[in-house]
Amino acid sequence: MKKIHQTIIETTPYGPIALVWSEFNGLPRVVRVIIAKPNSSAIRKVAELFPGIVSTSCSEIDLIISRIEAYLAGEKISFTLDLVRLDICSYFQQAVLQANHAIPYGSVSSYGLLAAHLGKAKAARAVGTALATNPFPILIPCHRVLRFNRTLGEFGGGQQMKKALLTAEGITFDETGRVTENHFHYQNP
């Protein structure tokens, strides 16, 4: 991989977010989006994963950052897959991430439905693993995928962030913390 760079979004409601990027075929493409985890800094994680990384930006990355900031501020924003380096993922993870990316803003699905959509009905756990290691959270919205029982499941930025992102997209929860949505994306009508 060519020289990698980082650009930090300093102030978000969830702490700093780091975009790690490099040039690919002459264009800047995101290699990782690193969000803060509960009790863990995104900036520290970048330093651990990419020692000596250079902080810089360019107009294309600045545009991605402004769109992430707008999304986190509650605007209805969708991101295209051409912004990210899917080629660094396994074939299975690429398929999972592409199917996840197709879940529209304000919609949810489940790990099992995503697995069935991919023709691997018994692979819900493998889908969960592929999403748990999603290198591009926010850009590929893995927060929109839930457990079969409508509970949140895990998320790199923690369950509180996952719930906040879904709530901002209009998803509602009952008093037990379960999503009240009746139709899940990839569910047959």
- Judged by DSSP in three states, 59 sits in helix
> What's the pTM value of the predicted model, to 2 decimals?
0.93
Q: What is the CA radius of gyration of the chain?
A: 16
What residues act catalytically? Answer: 142
Q: What is the pLDDT along the chain (189 residues), one digit of tens a residue?
A: 568 999 998 888 888 899 999 999 899 999 999 998 877 888 889 989 999 898 999 999 999 999 999 999 999 999 999 999 999 999 999 999 999 999 999 999 999 999 999 999 999 999 999 999 999 999 999 999 999 999 999 898 899 999 999 999 999 999 999 999 888 999 876
From the list 185, 129, 174, the residue with the least C-alpha distance to 156 is 129
| Structural domain 89-168, CATH architecture | Orthogonal Bundle (1.10)
HSE toward the beta carbon, residue 49, CA cutoff 13 A: 17
CA distance 67 to 20: 16
Q: Where are the domains of the chain?
A: 4-83, 89-168
